Amino acid sequence: MQERYSRQMLFSGIGEEGQALLQNKHVLVIGAGALGTGNAEILARSGVGTITIADRDYVEWSNLQRQQLYTEEDARNHMPKAIAAKKRLETINSDVKINAHIVDITPLEMEQFVHGIDLIIDATDNFDIRMIMNDISQKYAIPWIYGSIVASYGVSFTVIPGSSPCLHCLMEDVPIGGMTCDTGGVISPVVQLVVAHQTAEALKILTENWEYVRRELISFDLWTNQHASINVSKVKKAACSSCGPEATYPFLTYENKTKTAVLCGRDTVQIRPAANEQRDLEAIAASLSKLGKVEKNGFLLQFKTGENRMVMFKDGRVLVHGTNDEVKAKSLYHKFLG
């Protein structure tokens, strides 16, 4: 079977020794959308021994433009993304063990998944999960690779516990709001470029070529031809509660995660963001108006999507009407409100 990897082994950075390392490594991919499918396919084709995929969603027609493991049949059958990805990856490389989990990631799931993991790949679509991922990475000293896309813009950064700044150092607090793929769209080439950066760093880490791991934050806009490589080493904060010497891992606690509650007798789920922050309802309304009817006053805005109606207040609290399913409500919240 070494013939399968012969061209990769001819590359001096990997060779026979690196290939043997890859076959004994375990990567956790959080999210099975555009970045998740791209990362998982390259890692499977590269011969990584075990890949665990966790995703809460199912395949929709709008996914097929950029999520490379899925087919029209998957969309017709509303196949869970993790299961559809596992099925496809096993036809690509039967030597790789694929674990699939249909799950909404919380600190509990992350604690269960990380044991025996060598690397975590960020392929999710919201900062709640990213900050959980960040704290888990620091707690168990597991490197992770951040990646994000929207419109024609992409960004990637590799977090090495004990060495690089963590995402909390860079962000200070969980960003609230902002454009998403569902409000700003996304073009497929930006997916491929972020995946290329993530998987290149993954191969370096998994083959233990630490000296070549990129230490800068990479960002680019393929449409406007902008590219930046930012040295963020000085951003590392000695007192960071996620990666400092007295780390408390705040995003693994209940207080610092998005909270959901079913409102009694109302077929409604209330969602409260991890941090209270005044929201710019005018900007959000402008973004959502491209997707459907938006009504607003000085205190809240309403947005109708399918059978659900979402009401957002200035403090970031959202009521998702038309469901008592908390997982579905959270999915709509992150899909449209970031």
Distance CA 71, CA 55 (A): 17
pLDDT in the model for residue 174? 47
Q: Hey, what's the torsion of the CAs at 304, 323, 81, 303, to 10 degrees?
A: 10
- Give every CB contact of residue 181 below 8 A, 6+ residues apart in sequence: 34, 125, 149, 150
The residues spanned by each domain of the chain are 2-252, 258-337
Which residue in 287, 289, 254 sits closest to 272, CA to CA?
254
Predicted pLDDT at 104: 77
Residue type at 34 in one-letter notation: A
Nearest to 195 by CA among 41, 320, 16: 41
- Do the Cβ atoms of 148 and 212 come closer than 8 Å? no
- The one-letter code for the residue type at 124 is T
258-337 maps to CATH 3.10.180.10: no
Q: Which two tokens stand for residue 305?
A: 């999507």
Q: Walk along the chain (338 residues) in steps of 10 and give the mean pLDDT of each run.
A: 89 96 98 97 98 90 94 92 96 97 87 96 88 96 96 95 93 60 84 97 98 94 94 90 94 75 75 75 86 80 86 83 87 82
Model pTM?
Answer: 0.81
Find the angle CA(81)-CA(85)-CA(88) to the nearest 5 degrees: 140
2-252 topology per CATH:
Rossmann fold (3.40.50)
Return d(Cα 135, Cα 180) in angstroms, integer: 23
Q: Which of 37, 70, 60 is nearest to 149 (CA)?
A: 37
